[in-house]
């Protein structure tokens, strides 16, 4: 009799207590949605939305520099680079933010920020192109996307975390907020050193392809080495010797411009 009653309680519990959600929208198939994208596109969309959230957090901390000319110049340089080496599935955005320390940040989805201090520290266009190329490499390599498994939908039953673009559950949203906090912290304390070195190597390659002198970038890094401000490049990035090693690996043989550092044009636009 006791056994029978226990059995009843177990069955009752299973049937009426364990179910967790009222929404049966998970049953909808792709064709039920009007504008649903294919999984790869969904992943990119999730990446962009995630990166946009991160960009908003960065801008909340550091506003844009109120100088349309410098913003336009940096954007033009950035767009010139991604026209050659950018991902075709992204629209890149570049901006100078109001911060005196020397650093640059790239969020997933192609949002790239350079601090006023860093731009001011640059002595020529090639150095700034080197910095932008380094950040573009982070975006292209999807370091944060892969590390935090940012997906449009759970593309595998083995994934524990996914970002649902529409109709996300509260649990999922909380998970996304937690990941945003973690990535924000990572941006300001530094990515994995190996990732930084790979980005340097890519930057040298991009500069070579664009006929800038990669050595200008090396000189710039050397110059930054002595800087000791908070959130500075020297604190969040590997040692210069390691970086030079990887930059040399990335240099490919191309013909350089006469003014391969573009000193003159840089001076024309950058007057911070």
Partner 1 sequence: MFSYRIILIVILIWVISFFSIIDANYLHYKNTLIGGRASTMAGAYSAIADDASGVYYNPAGIIYSPYQMGTDSANTLSFSIIRFDNVDGMNDWQLNSQSFYPNFFALVNKIGPDFAWGVSYVMTNIYNEHQQELTPYLTNSHREDRTVFLGPSFSYRISDQLSIGLTAYYFLRLFREQYSQYGRSKGELTVAGLGSDNLYLSDYGLVLHGGMPIIGMMWTLQDKFSLSGTVRYQFNGTSSVHGNRLSQSGLDLVASEFVDSISLLHKQDDYPIQLGLGGTYFASPFFLISADIDYFYQLDSGYDHVINVSVGTEYFIMQFQSIRLGVFTNNTSLKPPTSVSKGRQHIDLMGVTYGYSFYRGTTSLTIGGQYSFGKGVAQVYSGDSEIFDYYRSDWAFILAAGFGI
Using CB under 8 A as the binding rule, whether residue 160 contacts partner 1 is answered as no
Shortest spacing between CB 31 and partner 1, in angstroms: 4
**CA pair distance 123, 119, nearest whole angstrom:** 8
- Please tell me the distance from the alpha carbon of residue 82 to that of residue 180, in angstroms, as a whole number: 25
Q: Does 170 bind partner 1 (CB under 8 A)?
A: no
Interface residue with partner 1 among 2, 4, 5, 15 (CB under 8 A) is 15
Is 63 an interacting residue with respect to partner 1 (CB under 8 A)?
A: no
Q: CB 29 → partner 1: shortest distance, Å? A: 6
Closest distance of CB 145 from partner 1, Å: 17
Q: Taking the complex as a whole, how short is the minimal distance between the CB of residue 173 and partner 1, in angstroms?
A: 13
CB of residue 54 vs partner 1: minimum separation in angstroms?
24
Helix ranges, 18-95 (H): 39-61, 68-85
Which residue's structure tokens are 């029978």? 4
The verdict on 149 binding partner 1 (CB under 8 A) reads no
φ, ψ for residue 229 (rounded to 5)?
-70, 165
User: Is residue 19 involved in binding partner 1 (CB under 8 A)?
Assistant: yes
Residue 219, helix vs strand vs coil: helix
153 near partner 1, rule: CB under 8 A:
yes
Of the two residues 2 and 22, which places its CB atom closer to partner 1 in the complex?
22
In sequence order, the 6+-apart residues with CB closer than 8 A to the CB of 154 are 162
What tokens were used for 190? 């530094």
- Tell me how far apart the alpha carbons of residues 212 and 159 are, in angstroms, rounded to a whole number: 42
Which helix (H) or strand (E) segment holds residue 118: the answer is helix 116-121
- With beta carbons less than 8 A apart as the criterion, state whether 98 and 64 touch: yes
Nearer to partner 1, 17 or 226 (CB): 17
- 18 binds partner 1, rule: CB under 8 A: yes
Taking a C-beta distance cutoff of 8 angstroms, is the pair 148, 183 a contact?
A: yes
| Residue whose CB is less far from partner 1, 108 or 162 | 162
- We find the least distance from the C-beta atom of residue 261 to partner 1, in angstroms, to be 48
**Which residues from 76-105 bind partner 1, rule CB under 8 A?**
none
Residues that bind partner 1 (CB under 8 A): 15-16, 18-24, 26-33, 36-39, 153-157, 169
């Amino acid at each position: 009799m006791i056994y029978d009653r226990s059995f009843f309680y177990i069955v009752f519990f299973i049937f009426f207590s364990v179910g967790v959600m009222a929404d049966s929208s998970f049953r909808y198939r792709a064709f039920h949605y009007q504008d649903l994208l294919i999984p790869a596109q969904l992943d990119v969309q999730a990446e962009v939305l995630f990166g946009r959230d991160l960009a908003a957090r960065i801008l909340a901390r550091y506003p844009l520099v109120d100088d349309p000319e410098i913003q336009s110049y940096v954007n033009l340089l950035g767009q010139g680079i991604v026209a050659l080496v950018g991902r075709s599935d992204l629209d890149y955005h570049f901006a100078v933010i109001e911060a005196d320390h020397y650093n640059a940040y790239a969020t997933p989805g192609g949002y790239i920020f350079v601090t006023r201090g860093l731009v001011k520290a640059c002595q020529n266009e090639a150095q700034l192109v080197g910095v932008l190329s380094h950040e573009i490499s982070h975006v292209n390599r999807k370091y944060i996307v892969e590390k935090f498994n940012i997906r449009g939908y759970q593309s595998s039953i083995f994934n524990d975390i996914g970002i649902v673009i529409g109709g996300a559950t509260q649990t999922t949203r909380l998970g996304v907020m937690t990941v945003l906090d973690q990535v924000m912290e990572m941006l300001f304390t530094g990515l994995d050193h190996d990732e930084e070195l790979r980005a340097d190597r890519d930057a040298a390659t991009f500069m070579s392809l664009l006929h800038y002198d990669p050595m200008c970038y090396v000189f710039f890094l050397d110059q930054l080495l002595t800087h000791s401000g908070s959130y500075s490049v020297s604190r969040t990035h590997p040692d210069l010797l390691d970086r030079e090693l990887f930059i040399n690996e990335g240099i490919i043989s191309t013909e350089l411009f006469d003014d391969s550092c573009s000193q003159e044009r840089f001076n024309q636009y950058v007057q911070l």
